[in-house]
Structure 1
């Protein structure tokens, strides 16, 4: 997936999330209903205060002439209620049970799902590609593939003394078990000192090439972080 498609999907998710969140807020504001008892409901009908009702099974949603919304439950043993409402000029609308429930559920839960998907998308974006914002504790070392051109001492001009000193390290890397059986301890590392551009990294690659072992490359600045312990974590990683 290229960057253009990712950008379009990113903004589409944000716009859809904002729209659905706005719909939920609008519905919650518009559907602010007072719960009243059935007795209060019949009293308001007799007083002529009820403007319109919507009946869904035993549940009634309505609006008073003062534009105040309300809801109540009607008992099954009250067959004359509809006739009484008609006599008082109440507008009656019937709605089948279950209709619109899936849409209401979707509007209620869609923002949560979309926000979760948005955060999942953002985390994936920050953990993949060139952006490693959430993986600051991970090592940034690059492994040079064994299929790449192998660098040996023949590719390094000069520094004959350094090459001779490093040949012992190469023997350690090639036949570590032989030295361990003799009680030898493999060196933990070698410090190459010199100004930038003098071939220190090339010499290290040549050591790996001569010993036929993988070569990892990392800059010293990658170990410096504002978080305490991150540099040490990268060394261990």
Structure 2
């Protein structure tokens, strides 16, 4: 398998993992529900379709009698509908509905007479920092993804990051021990090169004798 193909496959797997994790966190915060208006809620009450409601401040969520949602899942994980209410107005209207249904005075109607259960939800006590956990995990995945890309590119599989880098190397005389004496044969060529080296070391000595700077060497 070529390095470029392996690199592409790695990126694809990481991106897919990020998408899956983000979908999982998104699904954790979702519930199966439909937002309805206040009049629709009252219609549900009139038709005795409401099995239970849960109220937190001005938000009401409810469970319908025909639902397939288990009662134990309501309202923590699932509910059928959601709406915004004014609690005083809502319960005043519901008492009027059941006073008419039961043939009793309004002031004698209480929540016990309702055909649905009412639950008052407490304010959530979830520590504030837990809300940032999904975000931090996503940022961690992005950081890991970025590190892997940098390693892949600097490892030679991709030359993008090496563009423009200098190929110069520092000369270390202790690591370069090869001399003309180590080369067998080619005595004439070595002599020519030795003269050029001498010229580069002491150019004034040669220029005083009328020599010119050589433009190159033709080795045959």
Tell me the TM-score normalised to structure 2 length: 0.52
Quote the RMSD (CA, aligned, Å): 4.8
- Counterparts in 2 of 1:124 and 1:48: CA distance versus 1, 3 Å: same
Distance in 2 between residues matched to 1:87 and 1:97, nearest whole Å: 27
Instruction: State which of 165, 173, 176 in structure 2 corresponds to 1:150.
Output: 176
Distance in 2 between residues matched to 1:56 and 1:175, nearest whole Å: 94
Aligned twin of 2:4: none
Distance in 1 between residues matched to 2:46 and 2:175, nearest whole Å: 95
Structure 2 gap segments, 5+ residues each = 1-9, 68-78, 95-109, 204-211
Aligned twin of 1:71: 82
Distance in 1 between residues matched to 2:190 and 2:20, nearest whole Å: 67
Structure 2 residue 133 is matched with structure 1 residue 127: no
Contact in 1 for aligned 2:53/2:61 (Cα 8 Å): yes
Aligned twin of 2:24: 23
Matches within 5 A, 1:218-237: none
Distance in 2 between residues matched to 1:104 and 1:50, nearest whole Å: 32
Deviations along 1:37-76, one digit per CA (max 9) or x if unpaired, are: 1222233233222233343332233332333722211226
Distance in 2 between residues matched to 1:162 and 1:113, nearest whole Å: 64
Deviations along 1:10-61, one digit per CA (max 9) or x if unpaired, are: 9xx9698576335235347x52432211222233233222233343332233
- Counterparts in 2 of 1:98 and 1:144: CA distance versus 1, 3 Å: same
Contact in 2 for aligned 1:17/1:114 (Cα 8 Å): no
- Counterparts in 2 of 1:96 and 1:190: CA distance versus 1, 3 Å: farther
Aligned twin of 1:59: 59
Q: Give the number of aligned pairs.
A: 175
Aligned twin of 1:117: 143
Deviations along 1:83-142, one digit per CA (max 9) or x if unpaired, are: 6597222352514157487656644x4564244224202212213445445446456958
Structure 1 gap segments, 5+ residues each = 1-9, 177-183, 194-237
Aligned twin of 2:114: 87
Distance in 2 between residues matched to 1:71 and 1:174, nearest whole Å: 91
Contact in 2 for aligned 1:46/1:88 (Cα 8 Å): no
Rg larger for: 2
Offset at 1:190?
A: 7.6
